[in-house]
C-alpha cells in the first residue's frame, strides 16, 4: 500500500494530465496487488477520465476486469479484458497478449467456449515476433481453444514449449500462469508445481499478494491430480485465508469447490456437503467450472454410497453443462459410463443420452489414453498402502495386461484423482489395447 500511496500522491501533484493519469494508474495497480480492490477500482475509473491515451485506458480497463472477476463474474472480466486488448492490438501487440490471456482464463472459468475461441482468434491476429515468448504464449493459448473444443491433435507441442518458458528465471507472471495451466492440460503435474512455486516465490518477495491465491489454486489442482490430497489442502488453506482477507469472494468459492472434491475423494461426507452448500450459491450461474467441480464431488459421494441414480444425475449434469469442454471435466465421461454400466446397467441409459460434441462422445481412441490415470492410481496406492505396483514403463510395455492395482479403482482413494485426468493425446508408454479400452474395469 505504501507504493500505491506514493504514486497516488505523485499523481495529484502532477500538472500534466497524461503524467497524472499514468501515475494514478500505477497507484491503482499497486493497490490491487496489495489486496485493496475497492481502492484499485476507484482509481482505475478515475484514470479513464483523465486521459485519451489508448495504452493507459487499456491498462485501467484490464484492471477493472480483474476486479469484476471477483465482484460480478469471470464472464464480465473476459468482456472487459477483450475491450482492453482491442484498444492496443495494433500499436502494442505484446501488451495485448496479457489482456487476451486474462480473457482466455476468465472465459475458461465461465465455461464460455465462444469467449475462449474468440480469444484464440484475436491471439492469432497479433503481429508478434516469431520465436518470442509472447508468440509462444499466444500459440499455447490458441491450443487451449483447440483442446477445449475437442481438437487436441496439435496442442501438445505449443503447451510443452510454454512450460519450458515458464520455468525460465526471468519469465513474467502471466507467462507462468499460462505455463501452469498448460502443464495441467498436459498432465505434467511436476512441471506445473515447479513453475508455480517460482511464481509464488516472486510474488511473495515483491508484495503482490493478490496473486498468491491464484497461484495456489493451480498448485492445489496439480497436487490433487497426482494424489497428494494433504498437500492440496495445505495450499488451499493459505489461499482461502488470503482471499478472505482481501475480499476475493469468488476466488474463495472456487478454492472451496476444490475442497469439496477433496472431501469427497477422502470420504468426508459431512464436510463435503457443508462446503458445497456454502459455495454453490456463489458459483452457480457465475463460475461454471467451479460449479461443475462441486457437483462432481457430490456425485462421487452418491456413487460411493451406492446412490446410483443420484450419482448419475449429478455426473450427467456435469458432463453436459456449460463446463463440459473444460480439461478438468473431460476425464469424467468414460470413467463414469463404465462404472454405471458395470454396477447398475438398468439405471444407466447413457448411450442414448450422449451430448453431441461434448466429452460424452469420446471414441475408443480416446479411451486408450488411460495410462496416465493408471500411473496416478498406482503411485497413490504405493504411498497409502506401502505396496509397490507393477504399473511402470518397463512392465506395462511387456505385459499383456496391467497388474491388478492399475485398474482396481473400487475402494481406492486414488481412483477419484486418477480419473480426473484422461488426456486426449498419446499414452506415456505402450499399453495393451485390449486393456486400454476398458478404463476403470477391475482386472481379473
Residues 202-248: pLDDT tens digits?
Answer: 999 988 888 999 999 999 999 988 888 999 999 999 999 999 998 88
Q: How far apart are CA 439 and CA 139, in angstroms?
A: 32
Q: Which cell goes with 15?
A: 500538472
141-193 per-position pLDDT tens digit: 999 888 877 777 778 889 999 999 999 998 989 899 999 999 988 888 899 99
Q: At 429, is the pLDDT very low, low, confident or very high (cuts 50, 70, 90)?
A: very low
Percent of the chain at pLDDT > 70 equals 74
At 297-338, the pLDDT tens digits run: 999 888 888 888 888 888 888 888 888 877 777 656 544 555
Query: Of all residues in the chain, what percent are helix, strand and coil, respectively (each to 5)?
Result: 70, 0, 30
The x, y and z cell numbers of residue 435, run together, are: 486393456
Q: Nearest Cα to 418, choosing from 343, 362, 360, 335?
A: 335
Mean predicted confidence (pLDDT) in 427-444: 32
pLDDT surpasses 50 at 351: no
pTM over 0.85: no
Compute the distance between CA of residue 1 and CA of residue 111 in angstroms, rounded to an integer: 34
Q: What is the DSSP letter of 92?
A: -
The pLDDT of residue 316 is 86
CA 170 to chain centre: 23
Q: Is the pLDDT of residue 401 over 90?
A: no
Does residue 274 or residue 305 have the better pLDDT? Answer: 274
Sign of the torsion formed by the C-alpha atoms of 150, 152, 154 and 156 = positive
CATH code of domain 151-244: 1.25.40
Kindly report the average pLDDT of the chain as a whole number.
76
Q: Reply yes or no on whether the pLDDT at 383 is more than 50.
A: no
For residue 128, what pLDDT band results from cuts at 50, 70 and 90? very high
Q: What is the mean predicted confidence (pLDDT) over 102-118?
A: 90
Are the C-beta atoms of 193 and 219 separated by less than 8 Å? Answer: yes
Q: Which long-range contacts (CB under 8 A, 24 or more apart) does 149-154 make?
A: 149/113, 149/117, 149/325, 150/325, 150/357, 150/424, 152/423, 152/424, 152/425, 153/425
Instruction: Specify the higher pLDDT residue, 401 or 4.
Output: 4
pLDDT tens digit sequence for 247-259 = 889 999 999 999 9
Q: How far apart are CA 427 and CA 129, in angstroms?
A: 33
Q: 10 or 377: whose pLDDT is higher?
A: 10
Residues near 106 by beta carbon (within 8 Å), at least 6 away in sequence: 65, 69, 74, 75, 77, 78, 81, 115
Do residues 195 and 163 make contact, with C-beta atoms less than 8 angstroms apart? Answer: yes
Q: Give the three cell numbers for residue 27.
A: 497507484
Does residue 419 have a pLDDT over 50? Answer: no
Whether the per-residue pLDDT at 435 is higher than 70: the answer is no
Model pLDDT, residue 186: 85
- Cα 301 from Cα 401, distance rounded (Å): 30
Structure confidence at residue 13 (pLDDT): 80
Percent of the chain whose predicted confidence (pLDDT) is above 90: 42
Q: How confident is the model at residue 411 (pLDDT cuts 50, 70, 90)?
A: very low
Report d(CA 167, CA 136) in Å as an integer: 13
pLDDT at 243: 92
pLDDT value for 339:
52
Amino acid at each position: 500500500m505504501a507504493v500505491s500511496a506514493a504514486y497516488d500522491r505523485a499523481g495529484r501533484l502532477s500538472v500534466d494530465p497524461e503524467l497524472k493519469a499514468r501515475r494514478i494508474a500505477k497507484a491503482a495497480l499497486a493497490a490491487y496487488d496489495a489486496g485493496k480492490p475497492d481502492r484499485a477500482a476507484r482509481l482505475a475509473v478515475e484514470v479513464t477520465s483523465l486521459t485519451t491515451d489508448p495504452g493507459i485506458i487499456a491498462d485501467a480497463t484490464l484492471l477493472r476486469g480483474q476486479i469484476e472477476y471477483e465482484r460480478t463474474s469471470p464472464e464480465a472480466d473476459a468482456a472487459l479484458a477483450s475491450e482492453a486488448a482491442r484498444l492496443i492490438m495494433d500499436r502494442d501487440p505484446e501488451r495485448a497478449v496479457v489482456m487476451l490471456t486474462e480473457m482466455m482464463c476468465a472465459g475458461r472459468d465461465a465455461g464460455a467456449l465462444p469467449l475462449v475461441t474468440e480469444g484464440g482468434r484475436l491471439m492469432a491476429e497479433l503481429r508478434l515476433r516469431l520465436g518470442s515468448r509472447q508468440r509462444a504464449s499466444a500459440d499455447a493459448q490458441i491450443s487451449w481453444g483447440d483442446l477445449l473444443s475437442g481438437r487436441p491433435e496439435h496442442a501438445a507441442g505449443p503447451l510443452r514449449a510454454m512450460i519450458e518458458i515458464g520455468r525460465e528465471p526471468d519469465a513474467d507472471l502471466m507467462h507462468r500462469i499460462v505455463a501452469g495451466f498448460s502443464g495441467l492440460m498436459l498432465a505434467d503435474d511436476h512441471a506445473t508445481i515447479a513453475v508455480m512455486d517460482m511464481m509464488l516465490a516472486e510474488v511473495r518477495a515483491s508484495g503482490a499478494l493478490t496473486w498468491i491465491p491464484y497461484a495456489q489454486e493451480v498448485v492445489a489442482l496439480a497436487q490433487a491430480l497426482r494424489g497428494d490430497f494433504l498437500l492440496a489442502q495445505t495450499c488451499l488453506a493459505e489461499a482461502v485465508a488470503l482471499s478472505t482477507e482481501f475480499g476475493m469472494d469468488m476466488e474463495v468459492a472456487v478454492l472451496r469447490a476444490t475442497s469439496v472434491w477433496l472431501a469427497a475423494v477422502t470420504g468426508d461426507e459431512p464436510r463435503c456437503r457443508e462446503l458445497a452448500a456454502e459455495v454453490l450459491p456463489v458459483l452457480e450461474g457465475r463460475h461454471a467450472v467451479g460449479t461443475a467441480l462441486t457437483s462432481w464431488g457430490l456425485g462421487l459421494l452418491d456413487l460411493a454410497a451406492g446412490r446410483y441414480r443420484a450419482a448419475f444425475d449429478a455426473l450427467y449434469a456435469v458432463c453436459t453443462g456449460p463446463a463440459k469442454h473444460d480439461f478438468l471435466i473431460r476425464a469424467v465421461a468414460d470413467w463414469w459410463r463404465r462404472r454405471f454400466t458395470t454396477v447398475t446397467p438398468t439405471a444407466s441409459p447413457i448411450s442414448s443420452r450422449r451430448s453431441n460434441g461434448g466429452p460424452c462422445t469420446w471414441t475408443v481412441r480416446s479411451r486408450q489414453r488411460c495410462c496416465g490415470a493408471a500411473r496416478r492410481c498406482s503411485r497413490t496406492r504405493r504411498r497409502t498402502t506401502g505396496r509397490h505396483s507393477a504399473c511402470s514403463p518397463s512392465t506395462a510395455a511387456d505385459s499383456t495386461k496391467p497388474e491388478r492395482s492399475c485398474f482396481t479403482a473400487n475402494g481406492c482413494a486414488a481412483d477419484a484423482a486418477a480419473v480426473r485426468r484422461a488426456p486426449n493425446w498419446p499414452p506415456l508408454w505402450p499399453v495393451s489395447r485390449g486393456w486400454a479400452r476398458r478404463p476403470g474395469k477391475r482386472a481379473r
